[in-house]
Homo-oligomer: A and B are copies of this chain.
Amino acid sequence: MFAVTILGNNSATPAYGRFPTSQVVTINEHQILIDCGEGTQMQLSKYKIRKRKINHILISHLHGDHYFGLVGLLTSMGLLGRETDLHLYAPAALEKIIQLQFESSNISMPYTIHFHPLTEEGIIADENKFSIKCFKVKHTIECWGFIIKEKKVPKKLDKEKAVEYNIPAAYYNSLKEGNDYVTKEGTIIKNELVTTPNTPEKTYAFCADTIYFEEMIDKIKNTTLLYHEATYLKDLENKATQYCHSTTVQAATIAKKSNAKKLLIGHFSSRYEVLDDFLTEAKEIFDNTELAIESVTYIV
């Protein structure tokens, strides 16, 4: 399972019941929270996503609609007795903002928060089952995108075949890595006999808040699922440029030029009550587009 669940899809101020940006990425048993607008902890409860399973939080930038729910979530994690370490990746200035609020409340957390300030593009987390990379986007303040990539062993084991060849289970991981098996008698069981090639590794790219800029294309090439903001419909391209945001057409153009498999658009302006036109406009450029809708889980 590699998927993203939308907790909030609105920009700036909440409107029409739409919450500000927050998404949960699930990779098997791991959960990664991307951005944490006000109300995220309520949204997690509403959609029965367990806060306990989130060990990585990524904050793209320090506009309130992307992080005003963070200190509340961190505090609640503590009040609920969390003991597991938490890794937080964000612009450097966030550390002091959090510290100051913890100090003022005089509550100490029963778990450790490892704060990782984002400083340069590249791998920021390298776990067994996934890696996280950050890259710069262009907004009115320092702003980061993220690419989450699942890690797979090169081969899938054909267990029936492995049993047939009397290969002990202790060697299964070695087979998945592509190695042959040598029996006690010295017979070589070729790897190809008991494995098949694994499916390609998938990626989810989150492009945060950004103006349209083509240098991004190289950074996110061939993404399986690409999230790109589309704050405005195409007729408001001037406004998008003015506020360093993007339109439907611009988001779809990035998806097309970067050869994404699928595009997810969100961060809708509060000026729009109905979102249908966002989908229509984006699909004209890039057909495999979906709207990021609260509560919906999109498979990567």
Measured CB to CB, the residues of A under 8 A from B are 12-15, 17, 19, 38-39, 41-42, 45-46, 62-64, 68-69, 71-72, 75-76, 79-80, 91, 93-94, 96-97, 100-101, 104-107, 140-141
Partner of A69, one of B12, B38, B63: B38
Complex: chain B residue closest to A270, CB-CB: B79
CA distance A191 to B218 in the complex (A): 85
Contacts of A93 in B (CB 8 A): 100, 104
CA distance A15 to B76 in the complex (A): 11
Min CB gap A28→B, angstroms: 27
With A72-B68, A141-B106 in contact, do A42 and B62 touch (Cβ < 8 Å)? Answer: no
Partner of A104, one of B19, B41, B62, B80: B62
Contacts of A64 in B (CB 8 A): 71-72, 75, 101, 105
Contacts of A38 in B (CB 8 A): 38-39, 41-42, 68-69, 72
Pair A63/B141 contact, Cβ less than 8 Å: no
With A64-B72, A68-B72, A97-B100 in contact, do A141 and B105 touch (Cβ < 8 Å)? Answer: yes
